[in-house]
Structure 1
Amino acid sequence: HGWTLGIPLTKVELASIAGMKPRTAEKAFSDLRKAGVVVSHLRRDVLVPDLAGLRKFAGF
C-alpha cells in the first residue's frame, strides 16, 4: 500500500538539485526511513506508505 515513486536520479544528483552534500541527503533519507514515512526499495524507487504521515513529518 502507499505511493511508489520512481526517481530516475542518483543520490548524488538528488543532493545537487536540493543544494545539499550527498552525505546530508543520505542522512535526510535515513531520517525519513527511521520515521517510517518512506521505505527504500530498489535503488531508485521509494515507497511512501502513508502520505499523510509524510506531510505531517514535513510540517505541511
Structure 2
Amino acid sequence: MNGNEYIKFMTQEFTSFIDSTSEERKTRRSKRRTEPSVYSSKWLGVLPFALKSVMRKDSS
C-alpha cells in the first residue's frame, strides 16, 4: 500500500467514524469491551502470531 492509498483509507475511516451517531459509537465500544480477547495477542503482542505463521509456512 503506497502513501496515497493509506491516506485515502484513513480519510474514509475517519469520515465514517465522524458520520456515525454517538449511540452507534457507544454500542460499538461496549461490544468491543465485552468480546474476549485472544490471550497470546493480548499479553505477548504480535510475536506469537508471527511464530505461528512461520511454523505453518514451513510445514506446508
Same fold (TM over 0.5): no
The structure richer in strand per residue is: 1
Which structure has more RCO (C-alpha within 8 Å, separation ≥ 6)?
Answer: 1
Q: Radius of gyration: which is bigger? A: 2
If each structure's helix is expressed as a fraction of its own residues, which one has the higher value? Answer: 2
TM-score, normalized by length of structure 2?
Answer: 0.32
